[in-house]
Structure 1
Amino acid sequence: MNVLLEKLFPSNLATYIGSLNQQPRSLYSTAVAAVATRRRFSELSLVTMASIPLSWRFKEMEKVDQFVSSVKDILVPHHCNSNIEEERLKKLINAKEKTAIIHCYVQDALGGPKATVWEVARSVQTVNSPTTFGQVRVVDDLLTAGADRDSEKLGRTQGLITSSDLSEPALTMNLNFYFNAGQHKGSSICIGGRNPMNNKDRELPIIGGTGVFRMARGYAITNTLSFDAVSNYGVLEYTFYVAYPDYHHEGV
């Protein structure tokens, strides 16, 4: 088989059949070559295929398929990365905890030509409900360092909010505060829970995060700083009280 592969596909020196004993890192590139070879076999012209004995074709193609099947479960993304993540998790669990207070503002454009909150679903009760019960909206709000919409941009607030109380205005929220600028660039904080809109200050749990805030916990206090009913535009103030493993210090 190697002779034929070298003849048909000189760029893929057919060394992969004997590479099953290699380490997963080298198997990854080997498997990519095997998959490419399998594809090229299937794309051979009828004239070329006719020159290869049928029994040989089936036999050798079966070898290629068996190799690809045996390698797919031990490729680098699955095998090696899982070990890396296991070690990282151990270090995260044992890392010293760090705390931070993060203050920011959400620019909540509920209407207008540049709205960032949109309804995606509603129940049969929503239209007649005093609390818009059953309304589901998707959010992609601007996150800023100051209350003014033109202040320093920190990132986006993205997620889902649902009117989920029959008696009073309250939202069930699942929001990700993604920082694409500033001190926490590339990290995010995720909050979820019940937001009773009639309360001045509302508390929501921090249920996780990414980047610097992996395995984050804590809570957020939010309030409606301002709301313009004409333009349907609100500014929400958020203060995060967050604890998270200092994994950078631990070398994770």
Structure 2
Amino acid sequence: MGKVVFPISAIQFIIFSLLLPSSSLVKVQGDHIDFVRTLNKKTLDLQNEKLSHFRVFWHDIVTGSDPTAIQILPPANNTKFSFGKARMIDNPLTLNPELNSTLVGRAQGFYAFSSQHEIGLLMAMNFAFTEGKYNGSTITIMGRNTIFSEVREMPVIGGSGLFRFARGYVEARTHTINTTTSNAIVEYNCYVLHY
């Protein structure tokens, strides 16, 4: 059986030539790329950076009829420190340790038991604020939390709304933990640089 040859029409050649970049068809001027440009900070009102400190209480409720933290992955078999277990959270953030105190936002994200040698969590969450001028603004926290350490420090890696371009850190201190239910209240002191 012989070789089949398909003739290329002039229109097919033109279309093929337009789709195939070549130095004779595409003219690039140096390294100029149009999708990135430098802006003046004044354009986005990024003049005066400020440092804010705020304190909230984080309520992790894993039991009862209305939990705010639910298990999404079970721990690995035969693990001493719940390695591999993960929980999705929508935890209340309040002004005081009492759950019925003023609600200022929600901590939304997840934490996963990420250590085989101690109870250490990988935390990834947004503090989504709902109170006053911060309503609709968020800060994003991601870091390591060894929950039995007295103070745990985690970085603030960003934010939105009034916390655009945020950076900083939070300090977490356990206020109370129920060893039977695993429900916990944690004090968060947040130190955030933002515009």
For normalisation by structure 2, the TM-score amounts to: 0.75
The Cα offsets for residues 158-188 of structure 1, whole Å up to 9 and x where unpaired, read as 0011111111110011010000123411111
Relative to its length, the structure with more helix (as a share) is 1
Distance 2:127 2:72 in 1: 20
Identity among equivalent positions (%) equals: 33
Matched, 1:216 2:166: yes
User: What is the Cα deviation at residue 91 of structure 1?
Assistant: 3.7
User: Which residue number in structure 1 is paired with residue 87 of structure 2?
Assistant: 137
Relative to its length, the structure with more strand (as a share) is 2
User: Which residue number in structure 1 is paired with residue 28 of structure 2?
Assistant: none
User: Which residue number in structure 1 is paired with residue 19 of structure 2?
Assistant: none
User: What is the Cα deviation at residue 90 of structure 1?
Assistant: 6.2
Identify the match of residue 67 of structure 2 among 115, 120, 130: 115
Contact 1:171 1:197 in 2 (8 A): yes
User: Which residue number in structure 2 is paired with residue 249 of structure 1?
Assistant: none
Higher mean Cα deviation, 222-231 or 135-144?
Answer: 222-231
Q: Which of the two has higher C-alpha Rg? A: 1
Structure 2 residue runs of 5 or longer lacking an equivalent are: 1-34
Distance 1:89 1:161 in 2: 35
Describe the SS at the equivalent of 2:134: coil
The Cα offsets for residues 187-239 of structure 1, whole Å up to 9 and x where unpaired, read as 11110011111211000000000000001000000011001234432111000
Structure 1 residue runs of 5 or longer lacking an equivalent are: 1-81, 246-252
For normalisation by structure 1, the TM-score amounts to: 0.59
Q: How many residues align?
A: 161
Alignment of structure 1 residues 14-163 onto 2, 5 Å: 91-92=43-44, 94-122=46-74, 126-163=76-113
User: Which residue number in structure 2 is paired with residue 167 of structure 1?
Assistant: 117
Distance 1:169 1:135 in 2: 11
Which structure would you say has the larger RCO, counting Cα contacts within 8 Å and 6 or more residues apart?
2
